[in-house]
Amino acid sequence: MMGALAFYTVTGIIYSERALAIILFTFAARRCG
């Protein structure tokens, strides 16, 4: 149970950071372009 919880937590963090990076990249590209 703990292993699954840790796995989902890490996956969620990685997914959130990736989504945030994509949003920031799109925002920066839109401002520069």
DSSP 33: -
- Quick one: pLDDT at residue 33? 79
The C-alpha atoms of residue 19 and residue 5 are separated, in whole angstroms, by: 21
The pLDDT tens digits along the chain (33 residues) read: 679 999 999 999 999 999 999 999 999 999 987
- Quick one: pLDDT at residue 18? 96
DSSP 1: -
Report the 3 state secondary structure along the chain: CHHHHHHHHHHHHHHHHHHHHHHHHHHHHHHHC
- Quick one: pLDDT at residue 11? 96
The C-alpha atoms of residue 12 and residue 20 are separated, in whole angstroms, by: 12
